[in-house]
Structure 1
Amino acid sequence: MLSDKGFNVHLVTITNTIGYKFKAQLLNLGLHKNERNDLLNKARRLQLFKTYLKVQEVDIVLDFRMRKSALKELLIQKFLYRKVKTVYMVRSSHLDYYFPKTSTLTRKLFETKPICVLTEGIKLSIEDRFKLKNISVIPNAINLKDYQESYAIPTHIERKYILASGRLIPGVKQVDKLIEAYAKSKLPQVNIDLRILGRGETLDALKALAKKMGLEKQVVFEGFVKDPEPYVANALYTVLCSKFEGFPRVILESLACGTPVVATDCPTGPAEILDGTNGILIPHNDFEALTQAMNKLAFDEELRNQFKVSSRSGICKFDALKIANQWEHYLNQVYESY
């Protein structure tokens, strides 16, 4: 979005892994990381980054790092970012990823720094916990023009299904809880499958859980899918029951495909996207209510169709063109305020 707006964007990655498309000049610090990742190697990469910022005459840094160590943050602020404007990005409601746990130290480090978050819920949490005030909200964006009105169903799929997507890692997406809720629902009895897109370290354990419940043929793990839109568009609905989120793109992508959503009201995001016209929002971690909602939307075709009609219109405010304008205005403000 920023490149298309005319900004000269540089992407700096700490690890030698990039899983998404980008328009930017790349500084891959992961290529300079040795196997030991020793202190001297870290210092060299830090100096490399500092030199890069100076040579490229970077005006603003959007810092997406996890920032748990107060001492490390003090070093980075005083050494790396001393002469550059920096916006501290917060992409999850799990604030321990982004700030030291001690409120006093966090206030000392960030009380004068601009912070940009994804949701109003995250903003309120930071204000309440750390008493920080310089916080702006810019949500995730989606290119609605990139999504078709319909997609052909993948050829290997023969039965109706509901869909879940995400990284299969411990303690976040709660896919194990979803499988248990699905097992208690009426969906397996009528051959409505649960298909799961994604990969991660809990994949084998989740497969074992499905097999233990006698659902190894109805809980289908598709793995990583580069172009998931056909799966999303042809699902009865998407389901999300995360422990916490930032601003879940999986909901935006589902609604962009015309597919309604069943989601728990986890902190944060779902409540700021699902407005009652495009899906069902249930209490956080209420898995009995999740089962009931899954049943309701699976068997109530009229309700699903009502949600489908409103799915795209309800997320127009998150279209990339509008969010890009927000970013342009915000970055100009940041530049002028320093």
Structure 2
Amino acid sequence: MFIISITDQIGYEHSGELFNLGLYKNKLNDPLDKYRRLRITREFLKVKAIDYVLDFRFRKSAVKEYFVKKLLYRNFKPVYMVRSANLNYYFPKSTSATRLLFKNDPICVLTDQMKELVEQRYGLEHIHIIPNSISVATYQKVKTKKFDNPYIVTAGRLYDHKQFDELIKAYAESELPGKQIDLRILGQGPQLKRLQKQVEKLQLKNRVHFEGFVKKPETYFAGALFFAFCSKFEGFPRVLLESLACGTPVVSTDCPTGPAELLDGSNGILVPHHDFEAFKNALNQLAGDTDLLNQYRENAQASIARYDHQEVNKLWKAFIEGMQ
């Protein structure tokens, strides 16, 4: 397996051989430089005798995608990956251009709902569903992060669409601060200062903790009462998989897409999308009902067995064999 990174920003551990295309990018990033990098990438694919390319790029420009198909993927087999319910990340704005560009290509999405969104908006047909996966067994040995007070946890990049501000507001209005149950937020991003000011204004600096980037977030997940999540949109949030794999229940809004596939009523509480009153009530309910919390804990790991690496690898195997 080979990984091609378009930018020189390698932030996570990886397996396979890495080809850092970002090292070939000049400061101007002009059309000639982009063309040069296309040729470099094409030569890499030829030399390594790549059979299939899983394309995770954002693909917003129809013109750029036309040249990528003509100059890079000629005689190669791309599989276009869609990892978010926000389809504007992965397809050009023009539906007709999208249909022309991708009508004959395999497209891989994460959920049934994402498949429906792509079909309805663009009329594309060759769509395959392969969800994110996780090694459930490895999370059974996670060491628990402990603090003086019990806490709930959330995690993600601190961007607007993650709606951490709404989560903080719901937490502030809930019974949790009065019960000395803290909120711990894992992640970093451009919204950090604004969120810190919000917490200060709510006089919750002793209750809400910004932990920054955490290399092993599962240690926090395992020690939490439950995981809280209220994003505007997702794809198939891995943090929910990781939390449930740790045996930690989840409270989430039903954003498109992912939470509805993971929360089946046995492992947490799913409330309507953007219904923050219901979200607050769910926080109160789970924090105040030890029996329900323990019941969800007992069911958490078993509820995601179908997303274990071994099970999802079968889907990948069938997918690849079907392309041959």
With the shorter chain as reference, the TM-score category is over 0.9
Residue of structure 2 in register with 1:4 after alignment: none
CA distance in 1, matches of 2:122, 2:159: 28
Matched with 1:126 is 118
Measured in 1, the distance between the counterparts of 2:287 and 2:178 equals: 12
Displacement of 1:150: 5.8
Q: 1:235-250 residue pairs with structure 2 within 5 A?
A: 235-250=224-239
Aligned to 2:152: 162
Asked if 2 retains the 8 angstrom alpha-carbon contact of 1:194 and 1:218, the reply is yes
Deviation of the 1:44 alpha carbon: 1.1
Shift of 1:35: 1.4
Write the mapping of 1:29-68 to structure 2, written as runs, cut at 5 A.
29-68=21-60
The amino acid of 1:12's aligned partner reads: I
Q: How much does 1:151 deviate?
A: 2.7
Shift of 1:42: 1.2
Distance in structure 1 (CA, Å) of the matches to 2:239 and 2:25 = 33
Match of 1:305 in 2: 294
Equivalence map 1:173-322=2 (5 Å): 173-322=162-311
Secondary structure of residue in 1 paired with 2:183: strand
Q: 1:93 is matched by which residue type in structure 2?
A: A
Give the RMSD, CA atoms, in angstroms: 1.0
SS at match of 2:162: coil
Q: 1:114 aligned to 2:106? A: yes
Q: What is the CA distance between 1:148 and its match in structure 2?
A: 2.2
**Deviation per CA, 1:30-68, whole angstroms, max 9, x where unpaired?**
011111112221111111001111111111100000011
Structure 1 residue 125: Cα displacement:
0.3
Give me the TM-score of the superposition, normalised by structure 1. 0.94
Q: 4+ residue stretches of structure 1 with deviation over 3 A?
A: none
SS in structure 2 of the partner of residue 312 of structure 1: helix
The AA in structure 2 aligned to 1:161 is Y
| 1:211-241: CA deviation from partner (whole Å, max 9, x where unpaired) | 0011111110111111122211111100000
Measured in 1, the distance between the counterparts of 2:10 and 2:317 equals 25
Counterpart code for 1:199: Q
Q: Does the aligned pair in 2 maintain the 1:197–1:222 contact within 8 Å? A: yes
Identity %: 52
Shift of the 33–67 alpha-carbon distance from structure 1 to 2, 3 Å rule, reads: same
8 Å Cα contact 2:142-2:218 kept in structure 1: no
Secondary structure of the residue aligned to 1:65 is coil
Consecutive unaligned residues in structure 2, runs of 5 or more: none
SS in structure 2 at match of 1:147? helix
Post-superposition Cα deviations, 1:49-103, rounded to whole Å, max 9, x if no partner, equal 0111111111110000001111111111111101101100000000000011111
Whole-angstrom CA distance in 2 between matches of 1:149 and 1:22 = 21
Contact 1:149 1:258 in 2 (8 A): no
1:329 to partner: Cα distance: 1.6
Q: Give the structure 2 partner of residue 27 of structure 1.
A: 19
Secondary structure at the residue paired with 1:148?
helix
Q: Distance in 2 between matches of 1:152 and 1:181?
A: 26
Q: Is the 8 Å Cα contact of residues 265 and 283 (structure 1) preserved in structure 2?
A: yes
Equivalent residue letter for 2:308: D
Alpha-carbon distance between aligned partners in 2 of 1:274 and 1:22, rounded to the nearest angstrom: 29
Give CA deviations for 1:288-337 in whole Å, capped at 9, x if unaligned.
11100000000100000010111000100000011112112211212x2x
What amino acid maps onto 2:267 in structure 1?
Answer: N
Q: Where in structure 2 are the equivalents of 1:139-158 lying within 5 Å?
A: 139-148=131-140, 151-154=143-146, 157-158=147-148
* Comparing 9-18 and 260-269, the one that deviates more: 9-18
